[in-house]
Structure 1
Amino acid sequence: MGKATGFMEYSRQKPNEKNPLARVSDWKEYSSIFSDELLSQQGARCMDCGTPFCHMGTELQGVTTGCPIHNLIPEWNDLVYRGRWKEALDRLMMTNNFPEFTGRVCPAPCEGSCTVAISDPAVSIKNIERTIIDKGFENGWINPRIPEKRTGKKVAIVGSGPAGLASADMLNQKGHSVMVYERADRPGGLLMYGIPNMKLEKEVVERRIQLLKQEGIEFVTNTEVGKDITAEELRAQYDAVILCTGAQKQRDLVIEGREANGIHFAMDYLTDTTKSLLDSNFTDGKFIDTKDQDVIVIGGGDTGADCVATALRQNCRSVVQFGKHPRLPEQRSSDNMWPAYPNVFTLEYAYEEATAKFGNDPRQYSIQTKKIVADADGNVKELHTIQMEKLKDDNGNFYFEEIPGSEKVWPAQHVFIAIGFEGTEQPLLAQFGVETKNNKIDAAYGDYKTNVDGVFAAGDARRGQSLIVWAINEGREVATAVDEYLFTAVAK
């Protein structure tokens, strides 16, 4: 590294963020990039460690550790420190098809395994990555890459999320003709409709889609494979098919009163809100409006946090988020040592905003909803809860017990269920005849072949609900598998 002592001389800096109270008044991205001078210092913090765990991309303790797409992080950190931005972009694009997405919405497992993070705050890898790609677009360094020749082979990709887009990008550069099918009215999958605008402005997604189109990839929207076009028709028209349909079957809450009006799946709430914003700036009224309402979000993850942030921007009266686990510790626990992902308490953007607006963190920990109560018209009016204690049995297994006397009633007119996803939707898979396992497509990692010849699977549809970097990883790898399959088919 050019600044061997940089990690001792400079402290980690947070990205520039708009004031929490100010930013809830609009739907723009809440953070922006550093200045070049500050980015140079942040890049200088990347130490000359013997083994850069940041890009190892594996799982420890069941959680992603390091970068699954194996970004060459130390190399482009050093180049940013030296002000060689174009070269940094070249290094970044060697491993990452869409740094403008990961630099905004990835939870940055690379930072959790940064060597500096053993004793100090990690290098600002995520913000550096975002700045590199943003500079690339601003300076005109990113232009359409038109394949010199075509192979004559055609590939259909079902789903236009990060896995589908990554596989389309890679196969197109190999010279194959690629058609991406998307049932929504805009390409992008969860990038478009599952992640709110304040985390990922849709102009960023549309910019990449336009670039992919210019490079020769075709997109068919408002088309649901299995209904508008059958699996049989698709297989007959294309030499290979890749299923990148995601894990969109939302896990439901089985509880008394679930049938009350005003109980919604989190992803439906986020999707309708973003679509209405893009279509009409909310003038069409085709969204769930929480203005002046009491909102409860059930589920403690990122999707739940996005619901909190969305309700705040709609001027809800109150918002609370229920989570079943205890509050995380301020520092790593003894069984969560580096380089595993740090399970520590953080104040994410939505919670910072809620705290600024209402004076307290909206998260409630170790809480279980016992029942939902509706009013005379069938509309939800309150939730009944009880506190839980997390205990460990003699075999070291955790379990929860209710705490007597901790019952509480919470007012609510809107409840959003954000307790994860069960797997991929089954009807389409049945039509293709592909086998499933645990509600996921049965296709081995690294191979990606289903039991049906010429049909492959990648991303959340294959591995289950996961991170954007794993989706890109699988999109890149399934493209290699399909390319080899097509080459073998040509040889035959």
Structure 2
Amino acid sequence: MGKPTGFMEYNRELPADREPLERLKDWNEFHLHLPEQALRTQGARCMDCGIPFCHTGMLVSGMACGCPINNLIPDWNDLVYRGLWRQALDRLHRTNNFPEFTGRVCPAPCEGSCTLGATEPAVTIKNIEVSIVDRAWQEGWITPCPPQNRTGKKVAVVGSGPAGLSAAAQLNKAGHQVTVFERADLPGGLLMYGIPNMKLDKRDVVLRRIQLLEAEQITFVCNTNIGSADYPVEKLRSEFDAVVLATGATLPRDLPIEGRSLKGIHFAMDFLTANTKALLNEGADYISAAGKDVIIIGGGDTGTDCVGTSLRHGCNSVVQLEIMPRFPDSRADDNPWPEWPKTHKVDYGQEEAAAKFGADPRVFQTTATRFEGDADGNVTAIHTVQVQWEKNAQGQFAPIPVPGTEQVRPASLVLLAMGFLGPEQELPGALGLERDGRSNIKADYGRYATSVEGVFAAGDCRRGQSLVVWAFNEGRGAARECDRYLMGTTELP
């Protein structure tokens, strides 16, 4: 480390985001960068802590503790402090194929496990990470590096989201000829269509990396649904020596209550996907929130993205229903460091809604009971009730309605953002793959081999809905085990 006393001398500093009301006028990224000297100062806050939990990549109490891809965080913090940006990029790329993605959309479990964060505000790890890679692109340090030798083996990667891209990148480095299949019109999966442009720019960030992968001789085949009539699984198995499935967990959780069939009620991902397609293809149809009273059911990241998107459309109002209680402002006694801090946070969408309408749009411990519509079948209102979490007869915590808290709210657009149940089942069924009790593809973590020889699974289709950074972890791991299967040994990390 460059400055042993840096953590005592300097305070945590983050760059200011663009003003909420200003950024609502466009779809551009809202995060800004700190100047170089300020970034070097932030790098100096990284302690010589002895045991850097920030890059441990463990699960503690069921949540990520430290970086799941084991980024060498103290190394590149020190290099940034010393102004050695090119070397910092090399350290970053040792463990992370796509730091421009994680530096923008990862929730930073590394910072939650930062040793300094046990008593003081954590090191600004995520901001330093994205600053390293963005500078590298600007300086021209990131260039195509196709493998010098080919193995003669062909691998199909099904799905071009985070897990699929990281698996493809690693398998290509090993010398295999990689073809990535994607059923959408553009590669990127969740990165392309699941995350709004203001968080992750599609042309300047996502497609830039896709084009680099193509220059490294990875082939992308879009508009192709593997397992359907246009590309049967028999053809896939006959044309490739191995297959890595990275299809994600895309089966949304529904809300089967009275009035669900009314027009104007949509899954959040349909809303977000159509919006991004309209941004990339002017004139494409999308679900507009303009002038509407929007109700978003679900308090996670996807719900927040729906808030931000609805505001940019010009909605009349927006309410976000969250069935869980509000987290405390600081760590509870049963949530000690280095666990992920379950504390109250105001994300960009809530900040924008507060600037526009004067209040955080979230309503906690509240659920929907039924939808109401007009004579034409359009949703017009939603009935809600507050809940209290109590143990049921089976000893499990469950939401119990609180009598007298019923409310009717106006609603002309309802977005269901309640998470995902698992992968769609057509492709695993066609391949005859064994599934686990949650309908995910069964494959042991660390081995990634499915019940069918030569077929591997990684990411959300194997582990269930999770973080982008865990998908990168699994994609890299599946690539390593696929390479071992093909070659008998592997040098992939």
Query: Letter of the aligned partner of 1:459 in structure 2?
Result: G
Which residue of structure 1 aligns with residue 248 of structure 2?
246
User: Partners in 2 of 1:330 and 1:398 — Cα distance?
Assistant: 23
User: Partners in 1 of 2:162 and 2:400 — Cα distance?
Assistant: 39
Which runs of no fewer than 5 residues in structure 1 stay unpaired? Answer: none
Deviation at 1:404, TM superposition (A): 1.3
User: Partners in 1 of 2:368 and 2:162 — Cα distance?
Assistant: 34
The answer as to 2:491 corresponding to 1:486 is no
The answer as to 2:342 corresponding to 1:340 is no
The answer as to 2:435 corresponding to 1:436 is yes
Summarize the alignment of residues 67-106 of structure 1 with structure 2, pairs less than 5 Å apart: 67-106=67-106
3-state SS of 2:456 partner: strand
Deviation at 1:190, TM superposition (A): 0.5
Query: Letter of the aligned partner of 2:218 in structure 1?
Result: I
Deviation at 1:14, TM superposition (A): 2.2
Is contact 2:57–2:68 with CA below 8 Å preserved after alignment? yes
Deviation at 1:396, TM superposition (A): 7.7
CA RMSD of aligned residues (A): 1.4
Greater Cα offset, 384-393 or 413-422:
384-393
Which residue of structure 1 aligns with residue 271 of structure 2?
269
Query: Letter of the aligned partner of 2:212 in structure 1?
Result: L
Residues 346-400 of structure 1: CA distance to partner in whole angstroms, max 9, x if unpaired? Answer: 1110000000000000000000111001111100000001111223579985333
Question: How many residue pairs were aligned?
Answer: 487
Which residue of structure 1 aligns with residue 310 of structure 2?
311
Deviation at 1:140, TM superposition (A): 0.9
3-state SS of 2:371 partner: strand
Is contact 2:112–2:339 with CA below 8 Å preserved after alignment? yes
Residues 122-147 of structure 1: CA distance to partner in whole angstroms, max 9, x if unpaired? Answer: 11100100000011111111111121
Summarize the alignment of residues 134-145 of structure 1 with structure 2, pairs less than 5 Å apart: 134-145=134-145
Query: Letter of the aligned partner of 1:86 in structure 2?
Result: R
Which residue of structure 1 aligns with residue 117 of structure 2?
117
Summarize the alignment of residues 28-43 of structure 1 with structure 2, pairs less than 5 Å apart: 28-43=28-43
Greater Cα offset, 298-307 or 399-408:
399-408
The answer as to 2:49 corresponding to 1:49 is yes
**Residues 433/390 of structure 1: CA separation in 2 closer, same or farther (3 Å cut):** same
TM-score w.r.t. the length of structure 1 is 0.97
Summarize the alignment of residues 41-440 of structure 1 with structure 2, pairs less than 5 Å apart: 41-203=41-203, 204-227=205-228, 228-280=230-282, 283-284=283-284, 286-391=285-390, 397-437=396-436, 438-440=438-440
3-state SS of 2:281 partner: helix
User: Partners in 2 of 1:15 and 1:338 — Cα distance?
Assistant: 25
Query: Letter of the aligned partner of 2:345 in structure 1?
Result: T
Residues 97-135 of structure 1: CA distance to partner in whole angstroms, max 9, x if unpaired? Answer: 000000000000000000111111111100100000011
Query: Letter of the aligned partner of 1:114 in structure 2?
Result: C
Greater Cα offset, 55-64 or 301-310:
55-64
Summarize the alignment of residues 434-473 of structure 1 with structure 2, pairs less than 5 Å apart: 434-437=433-436, 438-473=438-473
User: Partners in 2 of 1:466 and 1:400 — Cα distance?
Assistant: 23
User: Partners in 1 of 2:392 and 2:20 — Cα distance?
Assistant: 42
User: Partners in 2 of 1:487 and 1:252 — Cα distance?
Assistant: 44
Is contact 2:146–2:216 with CA below 8 Å preserved after alignment? yes
User: Partners in 2 of 1:149 and 1:442 — Cα distance?
Assistant: 33
User: Partners in 1 of 2:2 and 2:394 — Cα distance?
Assistant: 50
Is contact 2:382–2:410 with CA below 8 Å preserved after alignment? yes
User: Partners in 2 of 1:405 and 1:468 — Cα distance?
Assistant: 41
Deviation at 1:11, TM superposition (A): 1.0
Query: Letter of the aligned partner of 1:257 in structure 2?
Result: G
Residues 469-489 of structure 1: CA distance to partner in whole angstroms, max 9, x if unpaired? Answer: 111111111111011110139
User: Partners in 2 of 1:48 and 1:394 — Cα distance?
Assistant: 50
User: Partners in 2 of 1:70 and 1:385 — Cα distance?
Assistant: 43
Deviation at 1:15, TM superposition (A): 2.6
User: Partners in 2 of 1:252 and 1:396 — Cα distance?
Assistant: 25
3-state SS of 2:398 partner: strand
Which runs of no fewer than 5 residues in structure 2 stay unpaired? Answer: none
Is contact 2:27–2:198 with CA below 8 Å preserved after alignment? yes
3-state SS of 2:445 partner: coil
User: Partners in 2 of 1:35 and 1:84 — Cα distance?
Assistant: 15
3-state SS of 1:27 partner: coil
Deviation at 1:8, TM superposition (A): 1.3
Is contact 2:57–2:65 with CA below 8 Å preserved after alignment? yes
Query: Letter of the aligned partner of 1:468 in structure 2?
Result: V
**Residues 23/488 of structure 1: CA separation in 2 closer, same or farther (3 Å cut):** same
User: Partners in 2 of 1:400 and 1:426 — Cα distance?
Assistant: 30
TM-score w.r.t. the length of structure 2 is 0.97
Is contact 2:483–2:489 with CA below 8 Å preserved after alignment? no
Residues 414-456 of structure 1: CA distance to partner in whole angstroms, max 9, x if unpaired? Answer: 0000000000000111111111111100011111111111111
Residues 191-230 of structure 1: CA distance to partner in whole angstroms, max 9, x if unpaired? Answer: 0000000000002000000000000100000111012211
3-state SS of 1:219 partner: strand
3-state SS of 2:97 partner: coil
Greater Cα offset, 65-74 or 428-437:
428-437
Query: Which 4+ residue blocks in structure 1 deviate beyond 3 angstroms?
Result: 391-397
3-state SS of 1:328 partner: coil
User: Partners in 2 of 1:60 and 1:19 — Cα distance?
Assistant: 36
**Residues 338/369 of structure 1: CA separation in 2 closer, same or farther (3 Å cut):** same
3-state SS of 1:461 partner: helix
Query: Letter of the aligned partner of 1:160 in structure 2?
Result: S
Is contact 2:160–2:181 with CA below 8 Å preserved after alignment? yes
Query: Letter of the aligned partner of 2:147 in structure 1?
Result: P
**Residues 394/12 of structure 1: CA separation in 2 closer, same or farther (3 Å cut):** farther
Deviation at 1:76, TM superposition (A): 0.2
Deviation at 1:58, TM superposition (A): 1.1
User: Partners in 1 of 2:8 and 2:318 — Cα distance?
Assistant: 41
Is contact 2:44–2:77 with CA below 8 Å preserved after alignment? yes
The answer as to 2:22 corresponding to 1:22 is yes
**Residues 37/301 of structure 1: CA separation in 2 closer, same or farther (3 Å cut):** same
**Residues 37/223 of structure 1: CA separation in 2 closer, same or farther (3 Å cut):** same
User: Partners in 2 of 1:293 and 1:277 — Cα distance?
Assistant: 20
User: Partners in 2 of 1:480 and 1:389 — Cα distance?
Assistant: 46
User: Partners in 1 of 2:120 and 2:98 — Cα distance?
Assistant: 29
